[in-house]
Amino acid sequence: LRAWYGRLVAIKRAFPALQSTNVEDALLEPQVRGLIAYNRWAGDDSVTVVVNTSDRELTARVRTRFAGKLVELVDLLQGEEFEGDPRDLTIRMPPRTARVLVPKAYELHGRYERGEVDSPRR
């Protein structure tokens, strides 16, 4: 448990978006109890968080703040990758899970290389 919280703290420290007060609802659908999605941003830094507190798998459609017609994202918690339209991205959410989504480019050329956040694949 200590390692898990340490990882969450490292992620928060590595992303200015998670330290800002900027937040907006990101959930397009389904509008159901237990499914939460929001965007946080600071300048050009953006993070999309999706949480499923229910005991069943859900598929969320979210609107992110990432630029482009097609984005490649990585979940910093489980290491899964997603690709799609940043304005209408489909994310499979297993029961009682959370995802912290950032552009895959951060993993390849950014914060992981600088040691700011451990790769979820390690």
The domain of 83 spans 2-109
Cα distance between residue 21 and residue 40, in whole Å: 8
| Span 53-95, pLDDT tens digits | 999 999 999 999 999 899 999 999 999 999 999 999 999 999 9
Instruction: Report the CATH number that the domain containing residue 17 is assigned in CATH.
Output: 2.60.40.1180
Spatial CA neighbour of 76 closest among 99, 49, 53: 99
Number of structural domains, the chain? 1
Assigned domain for 119 exists: no
CB of 38 closer than 8 Å to CB of 22: no
pTM for the whole structure: 0.85
Spatial CA neighbour of 118 closest among 16, 2, 14, 40: 14
* Mean local confidence (pLDDT), 12-40: 95
Q: What is the pLDDT of residue 121?
A: 46
